Structure 1
């Protein structure tokens, strides 16, 4: 028996061929992961590399902290309003409603985990396409 015949062989068909919605789902899920890390650890700051030119004209790559804006606001009564954003625009989760109310700040990470599952299951596809402007033609 050969080793190749012991493997399960299939035809290669990537999911991205089915549409751009998979790319949007993955992008939003990655941003939700960042917000979950920020909610559990307030000191969380991912880094990125930038190229800096000094006075003599030499370029150097430097690692700097990436700025992440929180998607939630803590009110005076300790309730939290959480918006899910695609880019800079909040996603409308239901007709006329674009925020989730949480009882306290410790609940934010569990709510974001639930929203991430909904995104990956495709429950927010129509909201994503309305935010990204899919279907509108440039004039």
Structure 2
């Protein structure tokens, strides 16, 4: 028993759910990670896909789980001047970084990957919580129609 006495004992309860802010952060971080992987694959000339499981009924009515590729759309595009512009999306809504500023401009694919990694770090640090909250509210409002 003397061995256990050397440890600090506390009364603790595991949380059953994570806070909504943290849930939205994690959701956006996962999507940014997908974009980073997509940008890396695009730079190297390859493709990036994520496998997803879907439950369907077959002809007999039995349910089966099948695996298929999830469609990932890239968040960047080439502007008229040849520079790459990157939008960050939460659902179908584009996040606004500053008043009227919705895109990040980069010159090359390497800079695109670095910009995505910087954004991922900012999301994890909670710097974009207000913008994520606004985009989340706009997405939720679309379902209430």
**Coarse TM-score class (shorter-chain normalised):** 0.7 to 0.9
CA distance in 2, matches of 1:86, 1:130: 10
When the two structures are superposed, what TM-score results if normalisation uses the length of structure 2?
Answer: 0.78
1:97 is paired with a residue whose SS is coil
Q: For the structure 1 residues 11 and 39, does the alpha-carbon distance in structure 2 shift closer, same or farther, using more than 3 Å as the test?
A: same
Aligned pair 1:86/2:87, yes or no?
Answer: no
- Cα 1:54–1:101, aligned 2, differ >3 Å: closer, same or farther? same
Matches within 5 A, 1:1-139: 1-3=2-4, 5-6=6-7, 11=12, 19-42=19-42, 43-75=47-79, 77-133=81-137
**Which whole-Å CA distance do the structure 1 matches of 2:57 and 2:13 have between them?**
45
Q: Return 5+ residue gaps in structure 1 as ranges.
A: none
Tell me the secondary structure at the aligned position of residue 60 of structure 1.
strand
Query: 1:131, CA displacement in angstroms?
Result: 1.2
* Cα root mean square deviation, aligned: 2.9
Distance in 2, matches of 1:44 and 1:108, equals 16
The count of corresponding residues between Structure 1 and Structure 2 is 137
The Cα shift of 1:30 comes to: 1.1
User: Any idea what the Cα deviations from partners look like across 1:42-83, whole Å, max 9, x if unmatched?
Assistant: 311001111233333333211000011111112465421100
| Unaligned residue ranges in structure 2 (runs of 5+) | none
Say if 1:8 and 1:79 are closer, same or farther in 2 by CA, change over 3 A. Answer: farther
Aligned equivalents of 2:129 and 2:118: distance in 1?
A: 15
Distance 2:108 2:130 in 1: 29
Q: Distance in 2 between matches of 1:10 and 1:124?
A: 34
